[in-house]
A = this chain, B = another copy of it.
Amino acid sequence: MKLIKNVKFLIVGLGLIGGSYAQALSDLGYEVGAITRSQKSIDYALEKGFISSGTTEVTKEYVEDFDVIVFALYPKVLLSWLENYQGYFKSGALITDVTGVKGSIVYKIQDMLRDDVEFVGAHPMAGKEVYGVENADKSIFRNANYIVTPTDKNTKEGIEACAQLGRLLGFKTVAELSPEKHDEMIGFLSQLTHCIAVSLMTCKESEDLVNYTGDSFRDLTRIAKINEDMWCELFLLNKCELLSQMELFIEKFNELKEGIENSDTEKIKSIMRTSTQRRRYFDKK
């Protein structure tokens, strides 16, 4: 499938990410529909021109009109949606998602799915600390990465169409990783960082610390304002990988702690030099 102009997109789940997909695709001239639980979200998206139609009810008549269906739901809701309604898809439809974990989701979906539609997993690594379609904003994709996570079950065409979607949405980079590599990477870069931020934030009943807080503490805890339902689900769906990343971090943290305990300046400085050198890779150009 090529994502030419007459391709119709259905967004299932009009939250921050689903809404931003809808906005970006409508702005490009595509026809975009939506299914979501709240009529208010549909009304908002219609008013803003993010979608040209939308419904809170899942019907075959509505669903079968679309060529590409993007699921922007919590993982477990996504799985039960597919169980209940996959019969409604148009034959040949391309199905994709935005879920932040892959190994525990992608294979399950591909196993349960009809043979005449194709599911290609994708993870748009973009977000905000706010939620809902009212905060949708396609500019969050601009400096972000989009990862396609194909398996043996996927076709070249399906993978390429899914990657093309990432480029259409305006992501800075579109990459391809196996579900396993994705989960390892996300366990480290995203889930571990959230665990650290949350742990730091819960160390102290810290209202009075506000008066003394500089940018360091603010930077390290920005993501500590966290949607507990979504992140708890994501953590547990990537439990093994996340736990091994957490252990790696504790090991490194204890190495530095030992250096300090022993006033071992050479060890401390050597760790800091490695840190400085590695951080340079991540300076934004």
Contact = CB atoms under 8 A, between A and B. Distances in A.
A216 B242 contact: no
Interface residues of A, number: 85
Given A189-B216, A214-B190, A196 B198 contact: no
Given A188-B203, A196-B196, A249-B203, A218 B272 contact: no
Contact of A223 (B173, B219, B249): B219
Contact of A253 (B186, B205, B239, B246): B246
A255 B196 CA distance: 12
Interface of A: 125-127, 144-145, 147, 173, 175, 177, 185-186, 188-190, 192-207, 209-214, 216-226, 228-229, 231-232, 235-236, 239, 242-243, 245-246, 248-250, 252-257, 260-261, 263, 265, 268-269, 271-276, 278-282, 284
B221 A279 contact: yes
A197 B198 CA distance: 14
A236 B211 contact: no
A231 to B, nearest CB: 6
| Number of identical monomers bound together in the oligomeric complex | 2
B213 A282 contact: yes
B228 A269 contact: yes
A105 to B, nearest CB: 17
For A195, A281, A282, the residue with the greatest tally of chain B CB atoms inside 10 Å of its CB is A282
A201 B279 contact: yes
A98 B204 CA distance: 26
A148 to B, nearest CB: 12
A242 B256 CA distance: 12
A240 to B, nearest CB: 10
Contact of A260 (B196, B197, B235): B235
